[in-house]
Amino acid sequence: MTDPAIPPPAIHVEDVTLTFGGGTPVRALQDVSLRVEPGQFVSLVGPSGCGKSTLLRILAGLARPQRGEAAIEGISAMGRPGLAAFMPQRDLLLPWRRAVANAALGAELAGVPAAEARAEARRLLPQFGLEGFERAWPAQLSGGMRQRLALLRTCLLPRDVMLLDEPFGALDAITRREMQQWLQAVWQEHRRTVLLVTHDVEEALVLSDVVFVMSPRPGRIVHRVEVPLPRPRTSDDTATTDFAARKAQLLRALETAGNTAPVGIASATPPA
């Protein structure tokens, strides 16, 4: 029986299996279990096609597995979009809305008054490198600027859980590091729960409390790597011996992911 005095995990995935149909069925996920406590920053890494993005879509309520359960803050995410703030790989900006209106869209749909949502979007535009582009159409923005605008839209959603699918993938190296620092600062201030999908091992280590490694398709969680490095973390920390050791550990986990048994219910909280 669940103790009502103990808050549910922010993210809970249990025994999720999903197979895509068609002429040749493809098993995308196999018995995936994952638990993230409120306020944690967790990353998922793994080879392309291992089901990382599919798992985020399930948690976002946009895909339904054949077996298993996925919940956000104790509420089933099955067929229930909107429980978490979700940023997919594509920016999905609306071409008929200017930058500020695009940034505020998610918050407006979640019930925030339009004037309030747009005022907050204008306030944050400089932090995302978009100052002076308040009235720009998406077609007038570079790929990196569009991605930053999509991240701002996600951050403005009034949700305690954020699901980020390669949010910095389209950014140049300098801007990517700046956005990593900004995301760290926001996370430390508000302690929103973040589940990040990334192919960048260094990015995962800079940002995360815990990194989970997924196997090649069908995706299973096969390794859990803790990152007990002090915060805030900067690019200088990537040159330390401790960081290098964690990076080597994570790279070894990725290399052996296809030959490793799953870890069971993977929890971002270390066992007592």
User: Would you state the pLDDT for residue 270?
Assistant: 46
> Roughly what angle, to the nearest 10 degrees, separates helices 173-190 and 143-155?
0
Mark whether 201 and 66 lie in a shared domain.
yes
Structure tokens at 254: 């990725």
User: Would you state the pLDDT for residue 259?
Assistant: 65
Query: Omega of the bond prior to 218 within 30 degrees of 0, cis?
Result: yes
Mark whether 224 and 270 lie in a shared domain.
yes
Mark whether 204 and 251 lie in a shared domain.
yes
* 187: in domain: no
User: Would you state the pLDDT for residue 1?
Assistant: 47
Number of domains composing the chain: 2
Mark whether 242 and 110 lie in a shared domain.
no
What does residue 139 show for φ and ψ, rounded to 5 degrees? -65, -20
DSSP 91-122: ----TTS-HHHHHHHHHHHTT--HHHHHHHHH
Which tens digits make up the pLDDT trace of 244-266? Answer: 998 998 888 888 876 665 665 55
Cα(219)–Cα(210) distance, integer angstroms: 18
Mark whether 272 and 205 lie in a shared domain.
yes
What CATH number does residue 26 fall under? 3.40.50.300
* 204: in domain: yes
User: Would you state the pLDDT for residue 81?
Assistant: 92
User: Would you state the pLDDT for residue 268?
Assistant: 62
Who's near 21: CB < 8 A, 6+ residues apart? none
Q: How far is CA 231 from the centre of its chain?
A: 19
**Block mean pLDDT (10 aa), the chain, length 272:** 72 94 84 94 92 95 94 94 92 95 95 95 90 95 88 92 89 82 82 93 93 92 89 84 90 79 57 40
Which tens digits make up the pLDDT trace of 69-85? Answer: 999 999 999 989 999 99
User: Would you state the pLDDT for residue 6?
Assistant: 76
Domain that holds residue 70: 1-84+160-166+192-272
